[in-house]
Structure 1
Amino acid sequence: MQNDERTLAPWHHFNECVVEGGVAFKKANGAEIWSYASDHPDFNNLFNNAMACNARIVMKAILSKYQGFHSLN
């Protein structure tokens, strides 16, 4: 996902967003990210897999330190 053109292109619109307002992803891709993902299954899959990958890493770190879930099975 980090190298996908659709996620890189918004960076080229940040100046416009600061000056004029708006959403960089929408300026770059013609729709806000959730609508775009809904209309483009390949992007939706890419996005969901990226978020799931990150969630696995983050959850392992949380569970290794946080004991609040210890009593749950």
Structure 2
Amino acid sequence: MQNDETTLAPWHHFNECVLEGGVAFQKANGAEIWSYASDHPDFNNLFNNAMACNARIVMKAILSKYQGFHSLN
């Protein structure tokens, strides 16, 4: 996902957003991320898979250290 044009393009608007305000993703892609994902199934799939992959890694780390979930069924 980090090398996808859709997610790289907003970086070209970073300076503009800092100086003038706005959302870089929207400036680069013409829509906010959720609308864009809804209209572009390939990007939506890429985004969802990236979030799921990250969630698996993060949850393993959290569950290995945090003891508060043991009482939940």
Q: TM > 0.5 between the two?
A: yes
Q: Which runs of 4+ in 1 moved over 2 A?
A: none
CA RMSD of aligned residues (A): 0.7
1:4-62 CA distances to partner (integer Å, 9 max, x unpaired)?
Answer: 00000100101110111110001110101001001001100000000000000000000
Alpha-carbon separation, structure 2, partners of 1:47 and 1:7: 10
Give the percent of matched residue pairs that are identical in Structure 1 and Structure 2: 96
Q: Unmatched 5+ residue regions in structure 1?
A: none
SS at match of 1:8: helix
Alpha-carbon separation, structure 1, partners of 2:18 and 2:64: 40
SS at match of 2:67: coil
Alpha-carbon separation, structure 2, partners of 1:14 and 1:38: 24
